[in-house]
Amino acid sequence: MSNTPSLSASDRISMLLDDSSFVEIGAYVTARNTDFNIQDKDTPKDGVITGYGVIDGNLVYVYSQDAKVLGGSIGEMHAKKIANLYDMAMKMGAPVIGLIDCAGLRLQEATDALNAFGEVFMKQTLASGVIPQITAIFGTCGGGAALIPNLTDVTFMTKEGAKLFVNSPNALDENRAEKLDTAAADYVAENTANVDAVYDTEAELLGAVRTMVGLLPSNNEDDGDCAVCEDDVNRIIPDLATKAGDVKAVIADITDDEFVFELKKDFADDVVTAFIRLNGETVGVVGNQKDVMTTAGAYKAEDFVKLCDSFNIPVVTLVNIKGFAATVKEEKTISKAVAKLTYAYANATVPKVTVMLDKAYGTAYTVMCSKAIGADVVFAWPKSVIGTMDPEMAVKIMYEDEIAAAGDKLAYIKEKKAEYTDALSGAVSAARRGYVDDIIEPDATRKRVIAALDMLFSKSEDRPFKKHGTI
Q: Which of 105-109, 208-212, 410-414 has the highest mean pLDDT?
A: 208-212
CA dihedral 389, 390, 395, 401 (to 10 degrees): -80
Give 67's contacts (C-beta < 8 A, 6+ positions apart): 3, 5, 9, 101, 102, 103, 139, 140
CA distances from 149 to 155, 163, 177, 282, 348 (A): 6, 12, 22, 23, 23
How far is residue 111's CA from residue 54's CA, in Å, rounded to a whole number? 36
State the pLDDT at residue 39.
Answer: 56
The pTM for the full model equals 0.91
Q: What is the pLDDT of residues 125-172, one digit of tens each?
A: 999 999 999 999 999 998 888 999 999 999 999 999 999 999 988 889
Give 1's contacts (C-beta < 8 A, 6+ positions apart): 140, 142, 163, 168, 183
Q: What is the pLDDT of residues 89-102, one digit of tens each?
A: 999 999 999 999 98
Bridge partners (DSSP) of residue 462 are none
Give 15's contacts (C-beta < 8 A, 6+ positions apart): 7, 202, 203, 206
Closest CA to 301 of 289, 231, 242: 289
What percent of the chain clears pLDDT 70, i.e. is strictly above it?
Answer: 93
CA angle 371, 377, 383 (to 5 degrees): 80
Q: Tell me how crowded residue 398 is: count the other CB atoms within 10 A of its CB.
A: 12
Question: Can you list the domains of the chain with their CATH numbers?
Answer: 9-215 (3.90.226.10), 240-384+426-455 (3.90.226.10)
Give 117's contacts (C-beta < 8 A, 6+ positions apart): 74, 79, 105, 144, 145
Closest CA to 89 of 213, 247, 256, 187: 213
Alpha helices in 176-221 (DSSP H): 185-191, 202-215
Q: What is the pLDDT of residues 68-85, one digit of tens each?
A: 777 667 788 888 999 999
Mean pLDDT taken over the chain: 90
Residues present in the chain in total: 471
- Concatenate the DSSP letters of all residues of 114-162 into one string: HHHHHHHHHHHHHHTTTS-EEEEEEEEEEGGGGHHHHTSSEEEEETTT-
Over residues 411-418, mean pLDDT: 75
Instruction: Decide if pLDDT at 201 tops 60.
Output: yes
